[in-house]
Amino acid sequence: MAAPLIWINAFPGTGKLTIAKAIKALDESVTVVDNHQLIDPVASRISRDDPRYQAERKRERERAFEKYVYDPATASKTVVFTGKFDLD
């Protein structure tokens, strides 16, 4: 059975990661994927005003989904993502 995917989407500085950590404190098996784990590596390689930046962020997010959401080996594990993700 697939475990829940929790997506905390809110403005910067509103406590998304704090809430994600609180969920993990209730169940240590929960995986937390913070928005900055995905965007900071991209921003270190490509300027945020570069036209390639958004496309690379999308690829990074897709890699995270492949690893934590789509992989049948991790489907039984709850995952909490933080940050604003566009689905397009």
Query: Rounded to two decimals, what is the model's pTM?
Result: 0.80
| Strand 31-33 to 79-82 pairing | parallel
Question: Total domain count for the chain?
Answer: 1
Q: Is residue 9 part of a domain?
A: yes
**pLDDT for residue 74:** 84
Q: Is residue 58 part of a domain?
A: yes
Which pLDDT band holds residue 88 (cuts at 50, 70, 90)?
A: very low
pLDDT tens digits, one per residue of 38-85: 888 888 999 989 999 989 988 988 999 899 888 888 888 999 999 875
Q: How far apart are CA 60 and CA 37, in angstroms?
A: 9
**pLDDT for residue 23:** 96
User: What residues make up the domain containing 66?
Assistant: 5-79
Q: Is residue 61 part of a domain?
A: yes
**pLDDT for residue 1:** 62
